[in-house]
């Protein structure tokens, strides 16, 4: 606790006044909406930027309406790769030619997992944890069923995440693929990614990293860490909008032999040849299957402008400051009211959100939404406080936790 902890309102004002990213929240739609007291779900659906509102309208009237089919020759055809490279450079620590955007996260995870398994013939196991995001688990269950693989589960701490020791005990000469989330969707636990990579590779296996809850909030270095495959969404911290396209990463070392199972014309060597038989395109284009959703890529570009202006080190620093401030509030105000913290207190192991638990939180979440305080609820009885560094203020964090305290005191 700091000397200002006794007066959280003053502390929030000082933090906002001294925030190097203090002018960024005003660049988002809804930041001045008096009906939204605190938006604490930016780790699930980010606000749109003000720039996006105008750019989407211009896309309809000018690019789509004005250029029509010519737009494919004027940039759309290569946009999954050029935008993928930009995401790689700005957010993933990935050199050009390894990242493509266009499918949903689920489809990309499936493509990457199946392609990875084909690179480890004779191995029979996929290692994953029971607290991974449901889609990741369901997909691996499906893949195991269709390919005869065995799932080896890690029972990680519900309030933490997979440790290197737990992974080391789970992998073996039978392991083909390890599938983990960089930041746990519920607890916010941040993997020790370099050590996880080493443990995976020591067993001769490959790592598929889900970066949905870390990209845009946590610094990522896929190339230098040696990650084999990664996938992530763009509607959280990248503010791409509901259902915005996801991105997939294939380490350059695997690209020559990588082949994904959903063959489509746009991932073929010469798409416009329309020839019989599929020949995968060279490089990361082979990850693409069909025509990607170009309209869904427009908002992402606006957020990348902001991220590149701010810089990921400053964004990560703001994220840690926000979660640290929220945890101070929880410890002083909510813990005495029976609330428990289900996220790492160690900032080195904490992503961009924190989860707190109380038996009454399901009913309280509904009332919070009614009063303009918007976190989300996670079973069995958790409120997840997700604060996007570019769009969230310390004042919002204060207002949100204050509202939770007041609801706990009601009735």
Active site residues: 133, 210, 235-236, 384
- Token pair, residue 322, equals 């926000």
Distance CA 389, CA 237 (A): 8
270: region left, alpha or beta (phi > 0 left; psi from -120 to 50 alpha): beta
Dihedral sign from CA coordinates of 46, 49, 52, 54: positive
Cβ-based burial of 82 (10 A; exposed 0-12, middle 13-18, buried ≥19) = middle
Nearest to 215 by CA among 179, 182, 180, 248: 182
> For strand 206-210 and strand 175-181, is the pairing parallel, antiparallel, or unpaired?
parallel
Asked whether the beta carbons of 12 and 38 are under 8 A apart, the reply is: no
- Residue 388 CA, chain-centre distance (Å), reads 11
Distance CA 121, CA 317 (A): 42
- Token pair, residue 315, equals 């964004």
């Amino acid at each position: 606790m700091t000397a200002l902890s006794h007066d959280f309102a003053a502390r929030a004002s000082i933090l906002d006044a001294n925030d190097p990213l203090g002018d960024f929240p005003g660049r988002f739609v809804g930041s001045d909406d008096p009906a939204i007291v605190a938006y604490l779900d930016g780790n699930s659906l980010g606000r749109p930027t003000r720039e996006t509102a105008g750019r989407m309208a211009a896309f309809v009237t000018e690019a789509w309406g004005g250029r029509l089919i010519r737009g494919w020759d004027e940039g759309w055809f290569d946009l999954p790769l050029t935008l993928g490279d930009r995401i790689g450079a700005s957010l993933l620590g990935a050199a050009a030619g390894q990242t493509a955007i266009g499918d949903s996260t689920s489809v990309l995870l499936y493509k990457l997992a199946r392609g990875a398994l084909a690179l480890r013939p004779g191995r029979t196991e996929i290692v994953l944890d029971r607290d991974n995001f449901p889609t990741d688990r369901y997909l691996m269950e499906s893949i195991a069923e269709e390919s005869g693989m065995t799932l080896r589960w890690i029972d990680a701490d519900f309030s933490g995440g997979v440790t290197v020791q737990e992974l080391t005990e789970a992998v073996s000469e039978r392991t083909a693929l390890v599938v983990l989330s960089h930041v746990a969707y519920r607890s916010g636990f941040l993997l020790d990614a370099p050590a996880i990579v080493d443990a995976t590779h020591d067993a001769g296996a490959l790592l598929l990293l889900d970066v949905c809850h870390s990209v845009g909030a946590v610094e990522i270095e896929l190339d230098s860490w040696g990650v084999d495959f990664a996938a992530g969404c763009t509607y959280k911290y990248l503010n791409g909008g509901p259902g915005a396209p996801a991105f997939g990463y294939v380490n350059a070392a695997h690209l020559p032999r990588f082949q994904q199972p959903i063959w489509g014309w746009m991932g073929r060597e010469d798409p416009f040849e329309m020839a019989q038989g599929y020949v995968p395109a060279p490089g990361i284009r082979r990850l693409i299957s069909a025509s990607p959703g170009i309209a869904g890529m427009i908002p992402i570009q606006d957020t990348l402008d902001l991220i590149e202006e701010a810089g990921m080190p400053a964004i990560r620093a703001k994220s840690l400051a926000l979660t640290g401030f929220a945890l101070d509030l929880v410890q002083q105000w909510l813990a005495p009211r029976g609330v428990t913290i289900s996220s790492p207190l160690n900032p080195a192991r904490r992503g961009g959100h924190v989860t707190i638990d109380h038996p009454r939180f399901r009913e309280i979440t509904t009332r919070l939404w009614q009063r303009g305080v918007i976190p989300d609820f996670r079973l069995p009885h958790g409120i997840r406080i997700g604060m996007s560094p570019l769009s969230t203020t310390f004042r919002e964090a204060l207002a949100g936790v204050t509202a939770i305290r007041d609801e706990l005191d009601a009735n």
